[in-house]
Amino acid sequence: MPNLAFDIAHLLAGGLVLISFMMLYQDRLYALLNIFALHALVLALSVAWQAYVQNAPHLYVTAVIALVFKAIIIPVALHRIIKQLGIHRDIETAVGIGPTMLAGMGLVALSMVLMLRVTGAADPLAREDLAFALSVVLLGLLVMVTRRNAVSQVVGFMSLENGLVLAATGAKGMPLVVEISVAFSILIAFIVIGVFLFRIRERFDTVDIGALDEFRGERR
């Protein structure tokens, strides 16, 4: 049975990396949000599986937060914000899809090499989990730097954070995981409320971060 436990954890964590890749080539905001909801769903499954395998019931709380908050509430809220504020639904990329995918592969390779090398002493489950988690974190960063829209940057950040939750749950017996996932949820809620309250669309006429540079004091 231990092999089955390992395989399922492996499958779910690998699935997260794959879904992170799917985010890289989306060119519509709605599609990106759907993919993100899927990302959060797989994360919830993965965390729940870890809770079961490690026999750590408090991790179920984290799984439920991931499921309810990140897979349902946030994507729905962002859908509505996009509709209400009339944000452009195309994603403007700073770098083309092709180079982005290549860079993504490079980052995944990097994190595998790095993490598998330095965690030689840890147990295999934690090792693989950490390597996958770092890949998800780096791919999230890549989404953030290659996208110009504020909303897609938020999605990139949230997928990055999913990677962190994966790492935290993979580290067996880590305290404060639930607290940290709650703290992150608050942070994300702030970001989403921020997008809405600041009415980025109305203030700036665009959510293109590049256009915001015009308002810098230096160019007056």
Partner 1 sequence: MTAASDAVAWVLLIPICAAAVLAALPGYRLTAALNVVASLGTFLAALSLFIIARPQPGQYLLVDDLNIVFIVLNTFVGFTTSVFSASYIAHEIETGRLTPGYLRFYHAMYQVMMFGMNLAFVSNNIGLMWVAVEIATLTTVLMVGIYRTHAALEAAWKYFILGSVGIALALFGTILVYMAARPVVGEGQDAMVWTVLIGRAATFDPALLNVAFIFLLFGYGTKVGLAPLHAWLPDAHAEGPTPISAVLSGLLLNVALYAVLRFKILLAANPEAISPGPLMVTMGLTSLLFAAFMLYRRRDIKRLFAYSSIEHMGIIVFAFGMGGPLANFAGLLHMVMHSLTKSGIFYAVGHIAQVKGTQQIANIRGLTETHPALGWGLAVGVVAIAGLPPLGIFMSEFLIVSSTFARQPLLAVLLVFGLLLAFGALMLRLTNVAFGEPRGSTAPADASYMPMFAHFALVLTAGIYLPGPLVVWFQHVANVLG
Under rule CB under 8 A, residue 190 binds partner 1: yes
- Residue with smaller CB distance to partner 1, 28 or 58: 58
Q: Which residues contact 133 (CB under 8 A, 6 or more apart)?
A: 13, 163, 164, 166, 167, 170
Q: How far is the CB of 15 from partner 1 (least distance, A)?
A: 20
**Any contact of residue 167 with partner 1 (CB under 8 A)?**
yes
Check binding of 216 to partner 1 (CB under 8 A): yes
Q: Of 107-166, which residues contact partner 1 (CB under 8 A)?
A: 114-115, 117-122, 126, 130, 133-134, 137, 141, 144, 150, 153, 157, 160-161, 164
Binding positions for partner 1, rule: CB under 8 A: 114-115, 117-122, 126, 130, 133-134, 137, 141, 144, 150, 153, 157, 160-161, 164, 167-168, 171-176, 179-180, 183, 187, 190-191, 194, 198, 200, 203-204, 209, 212-213, 215-218, 220
